[in-house]
Amino acid sequence: MRDHHDMTELLSKELAHPFNQDANKWLDAYEKEWQECFDSSAAPVTEVEIVCIDERMLMQAQTVSGKRVLRMAGSGVLWKNVDELADAIVSYVTQLAGGRPLSSVKVKVSSHVACGAAGIAFGKDKDPDESARVFQRGSIVEKLKARGINAAFTGDAPMVKGPHTGIAAAVDCTDGRLQRLPGINAFTVSDPNNVTHAIEEAMLALKIASGSHAYGEKLKQFTFVIFSDPARPETAKTIEAALREQTKEYTAKGMDIRFVERKAPTVK
């Protein structure tokens, strides 16, 4: 188990960040900046990037028109049934293609080093990260290809080295229009039309932050920022209600669980 004494300074730094001091105030002050992180263009979608929810992932510096980013733990290794994951992505890509050939949308599946989801899924293996890569490449990507998806495994994505330090999780309800979130050190969850799984992975972010690989019992505050889709505001409400219920075990122990919601920009 990690010695949490070395995490005290990192936790103090996170708690001092203006977002963690007052998330609503920060989101109001930087509304233009975070809204620009969403692809709000009407450009045809040609690329879907699948990345881990890990807050240490380094995303692109600029928002790209016609791109979607799905954020799932281990890029999907924790889905209980890989065929269900593949079918969900096919349905998602079909919707994005809007009558165009499925091959017109490139789906890129990435891995990363020191992946906590890999440890959960393949913890008994000698090298969980490599087992995750084999699964991502040999199971997820191959099953997508078999279903007519233009899919590729892109290997380890760039990330910040070091322990988990985020004490917030962003939940994107816009089907991947949120591509990046600079300024906030937060886990990010974005699932392909699966509310139940999005809730599970948002809770996983809290479990990681309060677990032995991060702050442990020192963590007394965590924020969920939920970005609702103007076209389907009920999704955000459902997710928030479920998270409020499932975090009661944390609040009962004195943790300050905060919820903020913001409406994502509409597609122009």
- Written as tens digits, the pLDDT of the chain (268 aa) is 344 448 999 999 999 999 999 999 999 999 999 999 999 999 999 999 999 999 999 999 999 999 999 999 999 999 999 999 999 999 999 999 999 999 999 999 999 999 999 999 999 999 999 999 999 999 999 999 999 999 999 999 999 999 999 999 999 999 999 999 999 999 999 999 899 999 999 999 999 999 988 999 999 999 999 999 999 999 999 999 999 999 999 999 999 999 999 999 999 8
pLDDT of residue 4: 44
Determine the Cα–Cα distance for residues 40 and 66; give it in Å rounded to an integer: 9
pTM above 0.85, yes or no: yes
- CA angle 242/83/198 to nearest 5° reads 20
Pairing state of beta strands 221-228 and 256-263? Answer: parallel
pLDDT of residue 193: 85
User: By the 8 A CB rule, do 221 and 15 touch?
Assistant: yes
Q: Residue for token digits 């122009």?
A: 268
Q: Is 189 helix (H, G, I), strand (E, B) or coil?
A: strand
Determine the Cα–Cα distance for residues 35 and 264; give it in Å rounded to an integer: 7
The residue type of 243 is L
The alpha carbon dihedral of 152, 158, 164, 168 has a sign of negative
Element (H, E) at 156: strand 150-156
- CA angle 175/223/233 to nearest 5° reads 35
- CA angle 63/54/195 to nearest 5° reads 80
Q: At what angle do helices 233-246 and 195-209 cross, to 10 degrees?
A: 40
